Amino acid sequence: MSGGVRPRSRRFGLRRQLLLLLFVLNLVAAIAYSTMLYSVDRREIIAGIDAKLATSVHAARELIPEGYHRRIHDAKSITPAEFDRVQAKLSRFADRSGLIYVYSYMRFGPSIYTVATSATAKE
**For residue range 27-66, what is the model confidence (pLDDT) as tens digits?**
999 999 999 999 999 999 999 999 999 999 999 999 999 9
Q: Where are the domains of the chain?
A: 14-117
Half-sphere exposure of 63 (CA within 13 A, CB side): 24
Q: What is the pTM of this model?
A: 0.66
**For residue range 82-102, what is the model confidence (pLDDT) as tens digits?**
999 999 999 999 999 999 999
Distances in Å between the Cα of 112 and the Cα atoms of 40, 104, 108 are 36, 10, 6
